[in-house]
A and B are shown apart, each in its own frame.
Chain A
Amino acid sequence: MIQLIHVTKQYDRRFALSDVSLEIEKGEFVLLMGPSGAGKSTLLRMLIGAERPDDGQVFVNGKNVTTLKASEIPYLRRKVGTVFQDFRLLVNKSVFENVALPLLVQGVSQGDIKRKVTEALRAVGVEHKRDQLPMSLSTGEQQRVCIARAIVNGPVVLLADEPTGNLDPALTGEIIELFKLINLRGTTVVVATHDPSVMAQVNRRVITLVQGALMPAERVGA
């Protein structure tokens, strides 16, 4: 599903990623661990075509992202859901409208939008908040809305960049459980985090980056 082949990226002569090669199978749940500045976000951004490697190749869902034209990137992103630490919700739009946005940009019919958004909101447990504005929700609820938006069009991959960075341990656990459920439905999930407590809750493959380099021993969480 995801493959990086000798990927290198530098910013101001500093390696964000250094000769990284890895493979993530379809349906896997992978934790991308490492301290801040290790290159986790850069790697995730490469998977959605927001960054181009200086060297190497990146494949997602059978597509070589490094050779995709700018006009093809949006179609890649429709297959890859993204969740962020800062939620990135539109504050002037309701929960429903936020979650409907990925469907709207694809020109999905009104009936399908209503059905899919309702399903996504139900899956993350915020269906009752559908008419509220994001700022009236708790941080945990905002992150759930963000996840609903990421899964609403049935992506093949879900990427989460520090999704629990703003959450307390209890909420972190809830969000991780949500990711597990999404993964159980067949979606490949990649969660980037520097929080060791997340690793403790996920008994899956761990990929560790340090200063842009992949650590040789891939560990399995507790």
Chain B
Amino acid sequence: MRTIFYLLREAWANISTNRTTTMVAILTTAFTLACVGVFLLLYVNLRAAAGWLQDDIKIMVYLDDRAMAATVSEVEQQLRGDRAVGAFHFISKEQALGEFKAQFPSDSHLLEGLGQNPLPASFVVTLTPPFRSPDAITRWAERIGGFAGVAKVDYNQDWIDALSTLIRSIELVAIGIGLILSAAAVTIIANTIRLTLFARRDEIAILRLIGATKTFIRIPYLLEGAVLGGLGSGISLFMLKALYELFRQQMRTTGRLSGLDQLMMFFPLSICLMLVVVGIVLGCAGSFVSLRRFDEAKV
């Protein structure tokens, strides 16, 4: 217990001895992690948006006009027994015409000239959540398109593809920037710890002489790194939250994208905690880098 108390006290001594350096390191780490956080926040919101859009996707399974009632019934049975299908309903040719006239009353005369109803009967299908990814939708559409009596399967493929490409791009950018800025955070913390190690080199030499193990010597510095990283990460979350709220308020007041602010989301608590843990891990990594170099020095 006394040893633990000693190690904690030493870690605190490290932090409080170099207050200015520590503050600079925490704030620089906070800004660095906030930059990563902006991309992460964008990514999280776009993923959520993509999820909502995909939830709302209706797949139109158009039937061949020549299809017999038995064939249509067979397609219906296939849909009913398909575990990818969450819900579906049938729209007859007459209902399709009615809906068209209701939606486009000024253009309804275009169809009257044709003599007969050109609109096909269809099934409107909503897929279950595991089958809502762009790839899964494409695979499902191809499979259903091959059924007898099915003329065409239609959905907003371009839209989904564009969105998923955007998400993938942001994901890659976020990973790239995240890696670069994480390395920067590690370097910042490593330099701060190096200053502490330099300031306390005589003390470390004494600890080595009296039989302190590497772990015993390292713990206060690893704790210092963890505190720097954890606090930096925590502050970056506060900065992001403030920016996020400011952005939402701007959206509400300008009115241009009003309503969209209701759909925006900040990181859930689990991700906030994960980011703090990432900060702690980066801080420890920074300490470790400096300690490794310091260990190579002689007593």
**A contacts, CB < 8 Å to B:** 45, 48, 50, 70-71, 74-78, 82, 88-90, 92, 101-102, 104-107, 109-110, 113, 149
Contact with B3, one of A92, A104, A149 (Cβ below 8 angstroms) = A104
B216 touches A48 (CB 8 A): no
Given contact pairs A88-B202, A90-B203, A105 touches B213 in the complex (Cβ within 8 A) = yes
A105 touches B298 (CB 8 A): no
B206 touches A101 (CB 8 A): yes
Inter-chain contacts of A110 with B (CB < 8 A): 1-2
Inter-chain contacts of B105 with A (CB < 8 A): none
Inter-chain contacts of B298 with A (CB < 8 A): 50
A98 to B, closest residue via Cβ: B206
Inter-chain contacts of A101 with B (CB < 8 A): 206-207, 210
* B115 on the A face (CB < 8 A): no
A156 → chain B, closest Cβ, in Å? Answer: 13
A77 → chain B, closest Cβ, in Å? Answer: 4
B111 → chain A, closest Cβ, in Å? Answer: 86
Contact with A113, one of B2, B205, B212, B216 (Cβ below 8 angstroms) = B2
Given contact pairs A50-B298, A88-B206, A71 touches B2 in the complex (Cβ within 8 A) = no
Inter-chain contacts of A48 with B (CB < 8 A): 209
* B239 on the A face (CB < 8 A): no
* B268 on the A face (CB < 8 A): no
* B260 on the A face (CB < 8 A): no
* B139 on the A face (CB < 8 A): no
B1 touches A71 (CB 8 A): no
B210 to A, closest residue via Cβ: A102
A171 → chain B, closest Cβ, in Å? Answer: 22
CB pairs A–B below 8 angstroms (17 shown): A70-B214, A71-B213, A71-B214, A74-B208, A75-B211, A77-B209, A77-B210, A78-B210, A89-B206, A90-B206, A101-B207, A102-B210, A104-B2, A104-B3, A105-B3, A105-B207, A105-B210
Given contacts A50-B209, A50-B298, A50-B299, 6 further A-B contacts (CB under 8 A): A90-B203, A92-B13, A102-B210, A104-B6, A109-B2, A110-B1
B1-32 near A? 1/0 per residue, CB < 8 Å: 11100100000010000000000000000000
For the complex of A and B, 3 pairs with smallest distance between CB atoms: A78-B211, A77-B211, A105-B212
Chief secondary structure at chain B's binding surface: helix
Inter-chain contacts of A82 with B (CB < 8 A): 209-210
Inter-chain contacts of B203 with A (CB < 8 A): 90
> How far does the alpha carbon of A78 sit from the alpha carbon of B209 in the complex, in Å?
9
A142 → chain B, closest Cβ, in Å? Answer: 13
B276-299 near A? 1/0 per residue, CB < 8 Å: 000000000000000000000011
A149 touches B2 (CB 8 A): no
Inter-chain contacts of A113 with B (CB < 8 A): 2
B299 touches A107 (CB 8 A): no
Contact with A107, one of B3, B208, B210 (Cβ below 8 angstroms) = B3
B2 to A, closest residue via Cβ: A110
Interface members, chain B 190-214 (any A CB < 8 Å) = 202-203, 205-214
The residue among A50, A74, A77, A78 with the most chain B CB atoms within 10 A of its own CB is A74
> How far does the alpha carbon of A216 sit from the alpha carbon of B13 in the complex, in Å?
52
Contact with A88, one of B1, B6, B209, B212 (Cβ below 8 angstroms) = B209
Inter-chain contacts of A107 with B (CB < 8 A): 3
Given contact pairs A50-B299, A90-B203, A102 touches B6 in the complex (Cβ within 8 A) = no
> How far does the alpha carbon of A154 sit from the alpha carbon of B216 in the complex, in Å?
21
Interface members, chain B 180-236 (any A CB < 8 Å) = 202-203, 205-214, 216
A60 → chain B, closest Cβ, in Å? Answer: 13
Inter-chain contacts of A50 with B (CB < 8 A): 209, 298-299
A105 touches B216 (CB 8 A): yes
> How far does the alpha carbon of A104 sit from the alpha carbon of B3 in the complex, in Å?
6
> How far does the alpha carbon of A71 sit from the alpha carbon of B2 in the complex, in Å?
23
A120 → chain B, closest Cβ, in Å? Answer: 13
> How far does the alpha carbon of A64 sit from the alpha carbon of B248 in the complex, in Å?
70
> How far does the alpha carbon of A45 sit from the alpha carbon of B209 in the complex, in Å?
10
Inter-chain contacts of A109 with B (CB < 8 A): 2
Inter-chain contacts of B202 with A (CB < 8 A): 88
